[in-house]
Amino acid sequence: MSGGEGNRESAAFCADLVRSHDFARYASTLFMPSDQRRALLAIYAFNAEISRVREQVSQPLPGEMRLQWWTDTLAGTSHGGVEGNPVAAELMLAIRSCRLPVERLSRLIDEHQLDLYNDPMPTMAALEGYINDTACALLSLGAGICGRQSDEIEHLARHAGLAQGIAQVMAALPLDASRRQLFVPLQLLQQHGVGMEEVFAGKETPKLRAVLDQLIAEARGHLKTALALLSQVPSEVRPVFLPLALVRCDLQRMSRADNDPFKPHVTSRLRTLWTLWRASRSREFS
């Protein structure tokens, strides 16, 4: 993605958007070459726009319309150009420059339609499918921006994305419960005898703790596999997976007995930068 191409103001807009709404991913791009960083920030800005649709609408229909605009834009069937939308302009430049698969970006939009409704996540398999087309896809696209794609990297991206996505489900539990949205699989709740209303009440119970411990164990299993696979990928791809260091810290905190899963936790930006810097100098991001 040539530094002379495109609108510099659009690139700056995307960087500011990701820094404001997804600081962890923004900070990880600081460890990448500038041309790759610009393309990755375009992808992350697109993800931020899609992920925030639920927060910006009061009813599902306007959200569906916003998501459809992005689908049409990727398909080249939207009315008008993308010049008036800096994120769309940067995204299309990244797609052209890095030859990114549009189909994966379209599937990311499709999966986020679920965010607009309060239908519960039915099973663990459904949750893994959702994460595969969101968090895992972003990591795979990031590797593509670095010019690397292989079965080994796809395998790494899947395990890394699942660890990251499951951790995010637990991190978002306070907000989701407050708006009666359920990403913790209903299947797991039923296995432990937990009802949806117990989750929406926002109070931890021993049975709910068992559900969350099971999710933590799932995430840790994927994280362990991902960290083991890191040694098999080229060094230039490793910065894309730096957020795994933050996932490790999050899972450690969530597993503590005194952790309240319904109390929002905000990691300081300085702590995030320090964790990523330290991880960048370590073979297994420790």
Tokens of 138: 């972003």
Q: In this structure, is residue 62 part of a structural domain?
A: yes
Q: How do residues 265-286 score in pLDDT, each as one tens digit?
A: 999 999 999 999 999 998 778 7
pLDDT value at 73 more than 50: yes
Q: Which of 215, 221, 234, 121 is nearest to 170 (CA)?
A: 215
pTM: 0.94
CA-CA distance, 149 to 106, in Å (whole number)? 19
Last residue of a domain, one of 54, 72, 100: 100
pLDDT category, 90, cuts 50, 70, 90?
Answer: very high
- Clarify whether residues 32 and 130 are in a common domain: no
What integer best gives the mean pLDDT of the chain?
Answer: 93
* Over residues 63-92, mean pLDDT: 87
The Cα 228–Cα 43 span in angstroms is 26
CB atoms within 10 A of CB 69: 15
Query: Residue 77 — φ and ψ, nearest 5°?
Result: -115, 5
pLDDT at 78 exceeding the cut of 90: no
Rounded distance between C-alpha atoms, residue 139 and residue 14, angstroms: 18
Same-domain pairing of 57 and 163: no
Is residue 10 assigned to a domain? yes
CA distance 199 to 204: 8
Tell me what pLDDT residue 84 has.
81
Is residue 110 situated within a structural domain? no
Mean pLDDT of 88-114: 95
- 75 and 22, same domain (yes or no): yes
- The answer as to whether 113 is a domain residue is no
The Cα–Cα gap between 32 and 18 comes to 15
Give me the CATH number covering residue 85: 1.10.600.10
pLDDT at 187 over 60: yes
For residues 41 and 38, give the distance between their C-alpha atoms in angstroms, rounded to a whole number.
5
Q: Residue 208, SS3?
A: helix
**61 CB contacts (<8 Å, ≥6 apart)?**
none
Q: Do 60 and 124 fall into the same domain?
A: no
Q: Do both 125 and 93 map to the same domain?
A: no
Q: Which domain holds residue 284?
A: 118-286
User: Are 123 and 60 found together in one domain?
Assistant: no
Q: Quick one: 43 and 136 in the same domain?
A: no
> Which amino acid does the sequence have at 188?
L
Angle (CA) 91 270 170, round 5°: 70
Whether residue 250 sits in one domain with residue 125: yes
Tally the domains of the chain: 2
Listed residues 69, 100, 131: the one ending a domain: 100
Q: Is the domain of 95 the same as that of 128?
A: no
Same domain, 69 and 12: yes
Q: Please indicate, yes or no, if residue 225 is contained in any of the structural domains.
A: yes
Same-domain check for residues 273 and 194: yes
- Choice among 113-117, 184-188, 269-273, 279-283 with the minimum mean pLDDT: 279-283
Asked if residue 108 is part of any domain, the answer here is no
Residues 157, 70 share a domain:
no
Share of the chain above pLDDT 90, in %: 86
Q: Is residue 111 part of a domain?
A: no
Contact 126, 148 (CB under 8 A): no
Pair of tokens at residue 76: 């080249």
Is residue 235, in this structure, part of any structural domain at all? yes
